[in-house]
Amino acid sequence: MAATDPIFRALADPSRRELLDRLDARGGQTLRGLGEGLGMSRQAVSEHLAVLESALLVTVVRRGREKLHYLDPVPIQEVADRWTDRYGRHRPAAPSRLEQSREGTVMGKPEFVYAIYIQTTAEHLYQALTDPESIKIYMGGYGPESTWEVGAPVRWKMDPDGEFEEVGQRVLEAEPGRRLSYTWHTLQPMHRQMFDFASDEEWEKAVRERSKVTFDIEPADEPELGIRLTVTHDGFDSPDSRMLEGVSDGWIAILSSLKTLLEGGRFLDEPA
């Protein structure tokens, strides 16, 4: 079976497309909220969402007793790129929906939520999130350094050729093989020109924002998918946050590199 078959099957049903449209408009919705006004039973909505989740088009994040649903536009974009590359290469290029609005990942809430499936163990995945040599590889020389104990500082390297700096970050949660969470650094002076702030007032407001990132590690519902890593970066002041804009693109690239590292052969601490 082709890898794209579940995606095409999921998109073939108009009710499932309607659910994706609703998540595109506002992510982080519950089953009950998604079903309002659709004229479908709760069971039918649940079954449609299960198909979308199986096709990796919807990410589910548990918050207490609630299950929140988010659209993952990346598989759709990958399919579109594949077919556009094959049959539409002579047509003028137009910005993709994903490029037009990165809020396809944020979905109306000031947070970034992204799930990725990796063929590895929970222990190796957690190690890769905390091991300095691994971080150096998949973050391209940037990234954090810490003892990874709750309350410990998280120092950050902003320049691959620079030193680790204390920028006010702290470890919030650390459960090996299960969860890691830490506060994020504020915008740094280098970001002012990068994001082209219009005024001193806008910049001063932006640098007060303090977000956090959380990595949840769990076995995938389907064992052949491996381990599911869900990254939730939240705490932003508004959906227009410049930091949110930056990390949304950044995390997707970083997680892709992490997957390549962990699935690419011998793990760093294993003997040759």
> pLDDT digits over 28-37, tens only?
888 888 888 8
DSSP string, 117-176: EESS-HHHHHHHHH-HHHHHHHTTT-EEE----TT-EEEEESSTTS--EEEEEEEEEEET
Q: Output the six-digit token pair for 68.
A: 């929140």
pLDDT, residue 169, reads 93
**Residue (of 22, 139, 127, 116) closest to 69 by Cα position:** 22
Q: 56-90: per-residue pLDDT in tens?
A: 888 888 777 888 888 877 677 666 655 544 444 44
Give the pLDDT mean for 1-12: 73
Domain locations along the chain: 5-87, 110-263
Residue 128, phi-psi category: left (phi > 0), alpha (psi -120 to 50), beta (remainder): alpha
pLDDT, residue 133, reads 92
Give the pLDDT mean for 240-251: 85
Percentage of the chain with pLDDT > 70? 81
pLDDT, residue 120, reads 93
Computed over every residue of the chain, the mean pLDDT equals 80
Among the four given CATH numbers 3.40.50.720, 3.30.920.30, 1.10.10.10, 3.60.21.10, the one describing domain 5-87? 1.10.10.10
Identify the residue whose tokens are 């137009």: 94
Q: 116-128: per-residue pLDDT in tens?
A: 889 999 999 999 9
Distances (CA, A) of 164 to 112, 160, 167, 247: 25, 9, 9, 19
pLDDT, residue 272, reads 45
Report the 10 Å Cβ neighbour count for 215.
Answer: 20
Top-confidence residue, 114 or 175: 175
Q: For helices 42-54 and 14-25, what crossing angle results, to 10°?
A: 80
Q: What is the pTM of this model?
A: 0.66
Q: Which stretches does DSSP call E strand in the chain? A: 58-63, 66-71, 112-118, 143-145, 153-157, 165-175, 179-183, 212-219, 227-234
Fold classified for 110-263: Alpha-D-Glucose-1,6-Bisphosphate; Chain A, domain 4 (3.30.530)
Backbone φ and ψ for 218, nearest 5 degrees, come out as: -155, 155
Per-range mean pLDDT, top range of 68-82, 140-154, 221-235: 140-154
